[in-house]
Structure 1
Amino acid sequence: MIITTGNDIAGYEIVEYLGVVRGIVVRSTGIARGLIGGLRSIGGGNIPEYVAVCEEARQHAYDLMVQHAVEHGAEAVIAVRYDATEFMQGSTEVLAYGTAVKIVKA
């Protein structure tokens, strides 16, 4: 499956638009990462514990989006984007979305 942030795919023609596909995850930092991350935030700079939570959430949302695309019979997903919103204090929603399409070689 081809996944791109672009609106087209070099060497391919989009022959059918299947609609928007998405993957949604709501994550919290957890007690251990939250405590360690909170202590590190006092000193400023990058906080690896929070980075890990964000990366895991993005990857999980991406994987769910691809699964959704497969369920729709897609061969590619174009115009992929991420969005994140604080769901409640300490929990963030991460959304990966794009347009599922069928393609043929040009």
Structure 2
Amino acid sequence: MFVTTTFTIDGYRITQYCGLVRGLIVRAPTIAQGIMGGLKNIIGGHIGAYTEMCEQARQQAFDLLVEHARQVGANAIIGMRYDASDVGGKGAATEVLCYGTAVVVEPLAGSPPPPR
């Protein structure tokens, strides 16, 4: 499946708009991540455990986005974006939303078929 942040895909034309699709995940740090994150907040520095948690949340939201697009019959997603927000205050949890427009595309002459 094509997923792009742009609103066109070179070599393909959009034949159908299937609507808005999204993937949403809420992740909370483990107790250990919370303790390490609190210490790093005091002394400063990169919080690797939080970075890993956020990367996993983004990937899970992306996977849910693609699954939603397949459910509505799309073979591509255009205008894909991420959004994130704090849920519950004080870093209790992070909500990650991945969204875009699901479309059906077909190749123009000389272009390969879209990926599955």
TM-score tier, shorter chain, comes to: over 0.9
Select which of 99, 103, 106 maps to 2:105. Answer: 103
Match of 1:34 in 2: 34
* Matched letter for residue 65 of structure 1: L
Please identify which structure carries the higher strand content. Answer: 1
Task: Answer yes or no: is 1:44 the counterpart of 2:44.
Answer: yes
Identity, in percent, stands at 50
Following TM superposition, the consecutive aligned residue runs of length 4 or more in structure 1 with deviations greater than 4 angstroms are: none
Q: Which runs of 5+ in 2 are unaligned?
A: 109-116
| Larger Rg, first or second structure (1 or 2) | 2
1:1-106 counterparts in 2 under 5 A?
Answer: 1-89=1-89, 90-106=92-108
Residue by residue over 1:59-79, the C-alpha shift from the partner in whole angstroms, topping out at 9 and shown as x without a partner, is: 110000000001111110000
* Matched letter for residue 24 of structure 2: I
* Matched letter for residue 57 of structure 2: A
More deviation in 82-91 or 15-24? 82-91
Mapped to 2, the partners of 1:16 and 1:92 lie a distance apart of 34
Could you tell me how far 1:95 is from its partner in structure 2? 0.3
Residue by residue over 1:27-67, the C-alpha shift from the partner in whole angstroms, topping out at 9 and shown as x without a partner, is: 11121111112112222122101101110111110000000
Residue by residue over 1:65-98, the C-alpha shift from the partner in whole angstroms, topping out at 9 and shown as x without a partner, is: 0000011111100000001111112111110000
Could you tell me how far 1:23 is from its partner in structure 2? 0.5
Q: Which runs of 5+ in 1 are unaligned?
A: none
TM-score (norm 2): 0.88
Secondary structure class of the residue paired with 1:57? helix
Give the number of aligned pairs: 106
